[in-house]
Amino acid sequence: MKEQIKESFATLLIYGIKADNVISEQEKELFCRLMEEHCNVEYPQSLEILKQTHPTEADIEKHSQIINDFSKDNPMQKVHILECLNHIIYSDGIEKNEYKVFEKLRDELFPEIEA
């Protein structure tokens, strides 16, 4: 996986994790596992990424566009990212802000589908 795609994948997941201003142990462990499975990033490095990344709205638009460009011929890649995000935000019980993040990212990744 290209470095830019890895960064975008991580940023979108972290945006969901930090939506409720709490990083639970379940979210942390799942994020690190997903980063290892999908990006070949080892646990200590994933933890550092999680600690150091503070996504903004502008970051989300930028990284959503990177994912859209990368996945233009394979929309299932975008579906998989949403599945990963959904798994993370449900891992410790979902908060309203987390679900709003999911909806925002869904709309960013699939602008052609009206909600």
Three-state SS sequence of 24-74: CHHHHHHHHHHHHHHHCCCHHHHHHHHHHCCCCHHHHHHHHHHHHHHCCCC
Read off the pLDDT of residues 51-101 as tens digits, 9 standing for 90 and up: 999 999 899 999 999 999 999 899 999 999 999 999 999 999 888 989 999
Q: How much is the pLDDT for 115?
A: 60
Q: How much is the pLDDT for 88?
A: 94
Q: How much is the pLDDT for 27?
A: 96
Instruction: State whether residue 99 is helix, strand or coil.
Output: helix
Share of residues in the chain with pLDDT > 90 (%): 83
Of 18, 6, 8, 103, the closest CA to residue 63 belongs to 8
Q: How far apart are CA 21 and CA 42, in angstroms?
A: 24
